[in-house]
Structure 1
């Protein structure tokens, strides 16, 4: 663990603004510190794709950003992680995207993983969406002809939705995505009524409380790894809960989004209030399909292999349909032109 923290320190000394170039990719391949980071999180197993790394700057904070670029990608897939998480824990999502022949872009939210910012603490989810918007713009440099898609987990779903809703409120009617998969999406957390009262009582007196590591996956090896992960925050920020309350109020007032959406939710999830969240999301995402998982807990992207396989088959079918529709529309436009 000490060796990894030392490697991360060297990465921060070496990193540069993200550029899409083979020269930059080669420099990171030769970085012993970066290779140590990749090895620790098993992100060095994607030899079939070019891998770029760097940062984008948002509000004077450096946001750690990766891309994986296979040959002849048929689309672009953004991966957004959940609260406390980071790209290092999302190898399963990256692997899925590459298996589907997508270019994959993933980044650490502010205050998470390798990104700068107070650890897992934020005043407004707008700081998360600003980071996503900057990464989104940078990703336009990737040589990809195909649909733009997203796969998000928990808080990452809120970031993805808020970004689209903010653009909608600004009058942008053209969707930024051809489709999205939402895993265990966060609207409000489990036990929200009690949590809201506790937050109101504690906010004037404390800045954070100790995090409780829950059994949020059936994969025992993952849970063991998570507790030993040196990039895991060990405190719950009261400021972050305040920011989530602001997002919840905004979501209540939002209009619907027509983007095709696959919602995946486990019925053993005790992190988010899915009995409340799923109907609320379904009402605001009319072009949706819900895939229920009887045994699924919250960390769906790091669930037991059989559980993961079940819903990823559904996600692959969903993305295949979107790609076929995108290509048919493009071919039709070419013939019309």
Structure 2
């Protein structure tokens, strides 16, 4: 593991003789340390994992819960992709993004010149539209203050959402000092703009795609994920809802089965992908 400067935190989970690399992108309010169990499973399956904390999150620098532009997230992921490519110049590379991390992965594939380095992507509960209600006064205030007080932060409401049925995870999350439960005016508006762009430009994505969404998600609207999937240009795409699962499908009581399914999907695509080319029961 390597922690970078005070401005940035990155981590690598590596093994000897990996068959491919995975760049893992965490979601809003959290940090990459919550995915150690996912990285361990990927290591066991033969994958090196590259990740980090997004700006304003975890151990990275920046105002908590704030971003000047959504592209700053994409830029950070580009640096992780570059790390992975430098260590694996000829191996297939994949993205694995959860929630806002899934939205970031989509925008990366739609806008980044490094998208050609990616052989496929797996998204879990990607944040294409919020499902929990934002008070009308807060929404109106956020739009009005975007150009005046962009760094003004308010409670995000995420701490009140039931993201998983796994009580052990809920307890650990509640006591995690690295979690962030505020969001700035600019972040909220940039999120909305990125969501619209991701849906409008879904047809720009042609890589193999696995998109999984908890059917009982109370945070992000599963129906919009299906809409995104229908617009993808990918010939190889598997877009589905997982009945009864909540937002954090890789933390649900069924998480081992979900992760095995993701690994199986990666295995099939890593075997099919050339160098740097662009199912379990629950799957």
Q: Give TM class, smaller chain.
A: 0.7 to 0.9
Report 1:1-337 matches (<5 A). Answer: 52-55=1-4, 62-143=7-88, 145-167=90-112, 175-191=116-132, 198-204=138-144, 207-212=152-157, 213=159, 214-254=161-201, 255-286=203-234, 287-304=236-253, 307-326=254-273, 329=274
Q: Indicate how the Cα distance of structure 1 residues 173 and 93 shifts in structure 2: closer, same or farther if over 3 A, else same.
A: closer
Q: Which moved more, 1:196-205 or 1:110-119?
A: 196-205
Q: Report the alpha carbon displacement of residue 246 of structure 1 after superposing the two structures with TM.
A: 1.6
Q: Distance in 1 between matches of 2:272 and 2:257?
A: 24
Q: What is the total number of aligned residue pairs between the two structures?
A: 266
Q: Report the alpha carbon displacement of residue 78 of structure 1 after superposing the two structures with TM.
A: 0.8
Greater per-residue helix proportion = 1
Q: Distance in 1 between matches of 2:85 and 2:78?
A: 11
TM-score w.r.t. the length of structure 2 is 0.86
Backbone CA RMSD of aligned residues: 2.3
Q: Indicate how the Cα distance of structure 1 residues 111 and 97 shifts in structure 2: closer, same or farther if over 3 A, else same.
A: same
Q: Report the alpha carbon displacement of residue 196 of structure 1 after superposing the two structures with TM.
A: 7.1
**Structure 2, unpaired ranges of 5+:** 276-283
Q: Distance in 1 between matches of 2:192 and 2:53?
A: 22
The higher radius of gyration belongs to 1
Q: Which residue of 1 aligns with 2:281?
A: none
TM-score w.r.t. the length of structure 1 is 0.73
**Structure 1, unpaired ranges of 5+:** 1-51, 331-337
**Secondary structure of 1:190 counterpart:** coil
**Secondary structure of 2:250 counterpart:** helix
Q: Indicate how the Cα distance of structure 1 residues 173 and 130 shifts in structure 2: closer, same or farther if over 3 A, else same.
A: closer
CA contact (8 A) 2:226 2:240 kept: no
Q: Distance in 2 between matches of 1:211 and 1:164?
A: 27
CA contact (8 A) 1:81 1:152 kept: yes
Q: Which moved more, 1:283-292 or 1:196-205?
A: 196-205
CA contact (8 A) 2:163 2:218 kept: yes
